[in-house]
């Protein structure tokens, strides 16, 4: 007997390689690990360029480092936006699925309420019939 895929599993399976890559990049760039590693690399870059005795490959004011950051930002921004757009699509689809679940649950609850009401009416009818029979017998 196979396990039915959840909405989330179906959505993950439908993602293309590019979409998965964009989500992974956005997730990693939005982490403390990324910030800490990048900070260490920047401090190392600056330190090595300031104390280099023979060759400064990027002397102060670190123009090459600024170029690297600009390039990183130029690629990171659209990748993060793609991931955010996909997240918005997932949220809308999830909200629609939740709404449909709520509608279905409401209809089931209303059907149960009608059934309970019918049972109560049926019980009351029986009690009234029993009381009328008891009155006739006495």
pLDDT above 60: residue 1: no
Structure-token pair, residue 42 = 């920047």
Left (φ > 0), alpha (ψ -120 to 50) or beta: where does 60 sit?
beta
Q: What is the mean pLDDT of residues 123-127?
A: 88
Burial of 68 (0-12, 13-18, 19+ CB in 10 A): middle
Distance CA 22, CA 79 (A): 5
Q: What is the mean pLDDT of residues 89-109?
A: 93
| Intra-chain end-to-end CA distance of the chain, in Å | 63
pLDDT tens readout for residues 52-91: 867 788 888 899 999 999 999 999 999 889 888 888 988 9
| Per-residue confidence (pLDDT) for residue 53, from 0 to 100 | 66
pLDDT tens readout for residues 8-50: 677 777 788 888 888 888 888 889 999 999 999 999 999 888 8
pTM: 0.59
Cis upstream peptide for 61 (omega within 30°):
yes
| Per-residue confidence (pLDDT) for residue 3, from 0 to 100 | 52
């Amino acid at each position: 007997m196979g396990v039915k895929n959840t909405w989330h599993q179906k959505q993950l399976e439908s993602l293309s390689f590019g979409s998965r890559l964009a989500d992974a990049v956005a997730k990693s760039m939005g982490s403390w690990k990324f910030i800490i590693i990048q900070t260490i690399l920047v401090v190392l870059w600056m330190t090595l360029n300031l104390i280099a005795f023979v060759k400064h490959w990027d002397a102060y004011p670190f123009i090459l480092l600024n170029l690297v950051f600009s390039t990183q930002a130029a690629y990171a921004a659209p990748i993060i936006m793609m991931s955010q757009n996909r997240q918005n699509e997932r949220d809308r689809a999830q909200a629609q699925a939740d709404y449909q679940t709520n509608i279905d649950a409401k209809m089931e609850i209303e059907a149960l309420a009608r059934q309970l009401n019918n049972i109560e009416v049926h019980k009351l009818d029986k009690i009234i019939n029993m009381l009328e029979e008891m009155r006739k017998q006495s």
